[in-house]
Structures are given as C-alpha cells and as structure tokens.
Structure 1
Amino acid sequence: MVTAEQEDFLVLEVDDLHVDVLTGIYSEETHLPQPLRISVRALLDVADHYQPDTPLSRSKNYMDLKHAATDALPRDCHFTLIEAVADHIIDTIFLQDSSVRHVRVKIVKLALSERGESIGITLGRWRR
C-alpha cells in the first residue's frame, strides 16, 4: 500500500513576481494599482520517469504559471480582496491544464511593508 508520504510528486514553482493589480478596500487603494509579490506552486501528475528526451507534454511549461499571475490578470478589474486575485490565478491554471492537481498562491502586499515584513495571504485549492 502506498501512503501519501510515499507518493511521487512534481511541483512547478514561480516565485516573487512583482505585479501591479487594482485591489484594496480603502479609498487610497481603490484608484491605483497596488504592488503585489506573487508566488505560485502547482502540483502536477508525475510521469513514471523523466528521460533526457521526455517531451514537455509530460510536465508543464512554468511560464504558464507566470502568465496566470501576470498577463492573465485583467488590468481593468478591481479585486476588493487579494484572495480574489489568488482565486483568479488558480482558476486560470486549472483551465490551462488538467494534469494540475493542486495550486497554491502566495500574495504579499508590498505597500503594507514598513520594515521588510511580508504581509499577505496564501490560498491553496485542490482540483474538484
């Protein structure tokens, strides 16, 4: 019997993307894009083994994760909560590829930092 600790896994990661997004609930936040630092992790179905000539179709292009957290975010949409930004990124990644089993998005609101703190959220979702 295989337990969760014994399962093979593949995680694609893109860290520390700086993205300006219309988000926030306070009046000073609602008219200008806010600087966010976004990191994305996607858990994928794993191949039995990866040979030197294994095609990309047996994995995923990590640039798709970057796209979901940058260009795929609507520029003219105001997200009240950064949780909604994370949900949009997750939905985009799930739509891109059915082999993605779980996505985790961490968002740090850079404008809130006074001394280098990381203030924000992490949202993870399993494919349903």
Structure 2
Amino acid sequence: MPDSLKLQVRDLEVDVLTGVYSEETHLPQPLRISITVDLKMPERFDPDTPLSASKSYLDLKGAAQNLPAGVHFTLIEAVAEHIADTLFIGDDRVTRVEVEIVKLAIAEAGERIGITMVRERP
C-alpha cells in the first residue's frame, strides 16, 4: 500500500438548508462537519517543501462552508456527497474523502446524531 497523507478539518459548524420534515425545511440547520482527505504525497517532506506538495486545509474548510446558496439538501447525505465531489474535482491527488456530519438541532441530551460517508476515487 502506498504512503498517503491524511488532512483533517474537525468540528466546523455550518448552517445548511437541509431536512425532510416541515419544521426543518424553512430555515438553515446547524451541522457539525468533519472532513478527512487521503492525499497522494511526495516521497519526503523536507523543511523547505512548498505548500503545493500538499493541500491547503482551507480547501477542506471551503468545501464545507461554501455550499451552493439557496439549495435545499433534503438529506445530509447529499451535503456529504457535495463536499466529497468538490474535493475530488479540485485535486487529482485526493484518493479518499471521509465526511462526518452531526445534526446539532435534533440532539436532546448531547448525543451525536448524523452520518459518516466515505468515498474513494475509482
């Protein structure tokens, strides 16, 4: 198995138009989104290795925060799919994307209700 680098952004809180039930469909819901990306990497990272040899964490953050304006995602799975697609399209070195989404508005006792989607580049 070749070496890979895992880049992570954890616990971003993003308001997203999502939901099935009528009480969910009118206003954005707060989601907690975490992303892990597996990235092909160079043989070594020397002290002077440029950022272009890796990927900016801001790309991961942007994929979660810059969802299409005004689009209602019925399922949070579709939000995860959009994030994964954005990261695959943006960089051929991305080999795997894992997106975890927790629906904050429906937690009653601090439980974590949500999904984890894992997509690999074919």
Give the structure-1-normalised TM-score.
0.93
Q: Tell me how far 1:127 sits from its aligned partner.
A: 1.0
Is 1:101 equivalent to 2:95 in the alignment?
Answer: yes
1:52 matched to 2:47: yes
1:27-73 superposed Cα distances (whole Å, 9 cap, x missing partner): 000111010000000000021010000011111001000000002x0
Q: Is the contact between residue 35 and residue 111 of structure 1 (CA under 8 Å) also seen in structure 2?
A: yes
- Distance in 2 between residues matched to 1:122 and 1:75, nearest whole Å: 23
Matches within 5 A, 1:1-128: 4=1, 7-71=2-66, 73-128=67-122
Give the letter aligned to residue 50 of structure 2: P
Distance 2:29 2:112 in 1: 15
Gaps of 5+ in 2: none
Equivalences, count: 122
Identity %: 61
Q: Secondary structure at the match of 1:80?
A: coil
State the Cα deviation string for residues 56-112 of structure 1 (Å, max 9, x = none). 1111001000000002x0120000000000000000011111100000000000011
Amino acid at match of 1:20: D
| Residues 21 and 75 in structure 1, CA contact (< 8 A), matched pair in contact too | no
Question: How far apart, in 1, do the equivalents of 2:42 and 2:113 lie?
Answer: 36
- Structure 1 counterpart of 2:118, one-letter code: G
CA–CA separation in structure 2 for the residues paired with 1:120 and 1:20? 15
SS for the counterpart of 2:41 is coil
> What secondary structure does 2:24 align onto?
coil
Give the TM-score normalised by the residue count of structure 2: 0.97
Gaps of 5+ in 1: none
